[in-house]
Amino acid sequence: MNLKNITTLIVFTLIFTTSIAQAQSSTECNLQKENEVWLAKFKQTNSLAEQLELIQQKIIADSVYTRFKSKITTPHSSTIINYTDINNNLCGRKILFTIDSHKIDINEQPALSPIVRNITASNIKSIQYMEPKTAAALFGAHSEKGAVLIQTKNNEVATQLKQTRTP
């Protein structure tokens, strides 16, 4: 190969890899659409077991989104919580899930994952969805997309949740 062919190959490779990187980083985040689709399914489901299965799937699916951390913070910085996807696209907010009044986010507390997976319909007392305005009055910015409150029948799950809490 001569120098001209090598130079052309290098330029082509650079252009090709740059365009692929830009295409990947410009993909849109699907969190808000996923929230809408999930909520529609959840509201149509009357079975406690099916609701619980949808909740477990959503909590695990949402684990791909991580909390956005501002590069610059001041004493007057906003406390609004946003999430990013794997490409660092700003995604908005997740639906808040609580079990026995404990916020469930397996990104922040991975030890909660087995607890979430092991909850069954037989140990659920109630599942309630709170609309965003009502949820925001109780939980603040974390619940801008609404909240799902799960109450269990016994203290076993609550005890497990307390044991996994970080100080």
Residue 12 has what pLDDT? 56
Residue 72 tokens read as 């610059």
Boundaries of every domain in the chain: 29-164
Assess contact for 38 and 56: CB atoms under 8 A.
Answer: no
Residue 19 has what pLDDT? 44
- Angle of CA points 123, 100, 116, to nearest 5°: 60
Residue 159 has what pLDDT? 81
Q: State the pLDDT confidence band at 158, using cuts at 50, 70 and 90.
A: confident
Which residue has 């062919």 as its token pair? 5
Residue predicted with more confidence, 125 or 8: 125
The pLDDT tens digits of the residues spanning 56-65 come to 999 988 888 8
The pLDDT tens digits of the residues spanning 95-119 come to 999 998 888 887 788 888 888 888 8
Residue 14 has what pLDDT? 54
Question: Which residues face 133 on adjacent strands?
Answer: none
Residue 80 has what pLDDT? 55
Assess contact for 95 and 112: CB atoms under 8 A.
Answer: no
Average per-residue pLDDT for the chain:
79
Question: Which residues face 78 on adjacent strands?
Answer: none
pLDDT for 135 beyond 70: yes
Of 36, 158, 137, nearest to 94 by C-alpha is 36
pLDDT for 73 beyond 90: no
The pLDDT tens digits of the residues spanning 3-50 come to 666 666 565 565 655 444 444 444 678 888 999 999 999 999 989 999
Q: State the pLDDT confidence band at 127, using cuts at 50, 70 and 90.
A: very high
Per-residue buried b or exposed e for 36-74, using 16+ beta carbons within 10 Å of the residue's own CB: eebbeebeeeeeeeebbebbeebbeebeebeeeeeeeee
